[in-house]
Chain A
Amino acid sequence: MLRFAAIRILRAVLTIALVVTFAFLVLRLSGDPARSIMGDDASPEAMAAFRREWGLDQPLWMQYLHYFAAIFQGELGRSMRGGGPALDLVLGRIPATLMLTLPALLMKLAIGIPAGIYAALHRDSAIDRAVMVTAVAGYTVPSFVLGLVLVQVLAIWFAWLPTGGTGSLQHLILPIITLGVGGAAVLARFVRSAMLEVLGQPYIRTASAKGIPWAAVVRGHALPNAAIPTVTIVGFMVGNLIAGSVVVESVFSWPGVGNLLVVSVTARDLAVVQCILLLVAVAMVLSNLIVDFLYGFLDPRLSTGGAET
């Protein structure tokens, strides 16, 4: 188990290193990093200081190492527009984003999982079909279309809710629904197929043939086994808490990380973009790590052998 943990953590660190490498390469390929990070209007002295500080006068591999060192010291450059440290700027936006994504995640779980389980247990019933149709629709309708339709109907025609911005709890409703519906559909579809897969296994038939009540078979055998693959996709949703609402924030002019990202990309504020990229990567890697450990907990086979890496 200790080896298992060590290898997983090593892989997580490696993935982060890969993202840093990616950022470094992209930064180097796109022009002068000093100018990119510091902005066009930085003074020549500041540029020279920056070059020295980041070692840009040294060979490429040294620069690479310096870049790594700087990033792990939290030195992520300054925003070209605001002037403040990029990291502070991004961290300042996270609470606003979480105000949308956390309730949306709860909504996905609260609707998606029961709907998926119900559909699988009542296969081919009217409700199953309804769930499936909604699920397909839910993931083919892009969030910006859904968001705009909701705005058009509920905010413009009926004027029940505000079209966008912040200020009250009512401002939260439309973005959360927009985020939640699509995710709930994906989750329902996934849980349904995971459940169907498990229900088709011989041990389920054996258990019910032994005379164990169906409800107990489902609770004791089917649900725990279907939970294993479901954990992965939920883990992905958790990792996406920071970056998963880019489009929705833009639709509803919500001042979160996603909005900052879009504005920074448009303005080519590279320090901020790079900072968001790294934070998202860290969030993703951490949630993957948690999923891996949950896996080991849910399915002891995986931590002792079998699966290929």
Chain B
Amino acid sequence: MMEKVTETAAGERENTKHRRIPISVSVSALWIAFIVVVALLAYQIAPYQYTALDLPNRLASPFHPQHLLGTDELGRDILSRLIVSVRISVLVALGATLISACFGTTMGFAAAHFRGRVEQFILMLADFQAAMPFLVLSLSVLAFFGNALPLFIGLMGLYGWERYARIARGLAISASAQGYAGAVRQLGASPRRIYLRHILPNIASTLIVSMTLTFPEIILMESSLSFLGLGVQPPMTSLGNMLGYGREYMTRAPWIMFAPATLIVTTTLSISLLGDWLRDRLDKGLQ
């Protein structure tokens, strides 16, 4: 998905000015592509099943002949677990980002369309969401409802919806006031047509940039919760979950912890760099 974003953004600017892409950004894009491939092919490329035990080789250190990155306390292959963790973490973050973007954009359009009380109410919810620490909110929901994976993804999908809602509302209002959306409404088009065929494609690039900025935050939120033992539950594994269980063996087997930690940091860093760069280009493009 991420490569596509760079492609379209780059394609749009090509006819105006050809700027060089900074090395950090291209490295980030390559790394993200790599992560996406790993996530897609997780079960094909993992050398072992992520739950397979190898009891004789418990807590083996990295570069072990059978286990490149070593094993954990039950002798499970770290590399295989890492690959599957990437898949789960990316899946959760991707699902949550899409839910959040769809929900937020819908709320923003609703606010722009109905105005008045509906708009006030949605803005109040957005303020509330922005003011409350998301970790505490999601922890309380998890306490009440338990943590099945679909519920967990849905909960993460509430992260950051208020940003999309604000963007969508603002842009939709300005498009309707004197712009193309008002003109199309005047032609007799239904609200659905106005919002889906006209406004949405026009604000999509801004929304996608927001998604690249929210995505790493959701990965961090997911891994924090899983780290606390309240996100993705064993036997399933995710980056934060590996880290959380790995820390009990910190003194004896620090590699259990370091592999997922490195992956979390490099991946979120890459997406942030790419997102920042995309936002800068978009800002310049709008001026």
Q: Which residues of A does B touch, CB under 8 Å?
A: 14-15, 18-19, 23, 26-27, 29-30, 36, 136-137, 139-145, 148-149, 151-152, 156, 236, 239-240, 243-244, 246-247, 250-251, 261-262, 264-266, 268-270, 273-274, 276-277, 280-281, 284-285, 288, 309
Contact = CB atoms under 8 A, between A and B. Distances in A.
Given A140-B216, A277-B140, A246 B228 contact: yes
Contacts of A281: 132
B119 to A, nearest CB: 11
Given A140-B269, A144-B243, A156-B250, A246 B144 contact: no
B124 A26 contact: no
29 contacts: A14-B124, A15-B127, A18-B125, A19-B128, A19-B132, A27-B144, A29-B144, A136-B272, A136-B276, A139-B272, A140-B220, A140-B268, A141-B265, A142-B220, A142-B224, A142-B264, A144-B224, A145-B243, A145-B261, A148-B243, A156-B254, A239-B131, A240-B133, A243-B136, A246-B135, A246-B228, A247-B227, A247-B228, A261-B139
A257 B132 CA distance: 16
Interface of B: 123-125, 127-128, 131-133, 135-137, 139-146, 216, 220, 223-224, 227-230, 240, 243-244, 247, 250-251, 254, 257, 261, 264-265, 268-269, 272-273, 276
Contact of A18 (B123, B128, B146): B128
Contacts of A152: 250, 254, 257
A29 B268 CA distance: 35
Contacts of B128: 15, 18-19
B246 to A, nearest CB: 9
What are the 7 A-B residue pairs with the smallest beta carbon separation, nearest first? A30-B144, A265-B143, A273-B143, A140-B269, A140-B268, A145-B261, A277-B140
A151 B248 CA distance: 12
A268 B143 contact: yes
Contact of A149 (B145, B216, B261): B261
A26 B155 CA distance: 13
A285 B227 CA distance: 28
B136 A288 contact: no
Contacts of A26: 140-141, 144-145
A69 to B, nearest CB: 21
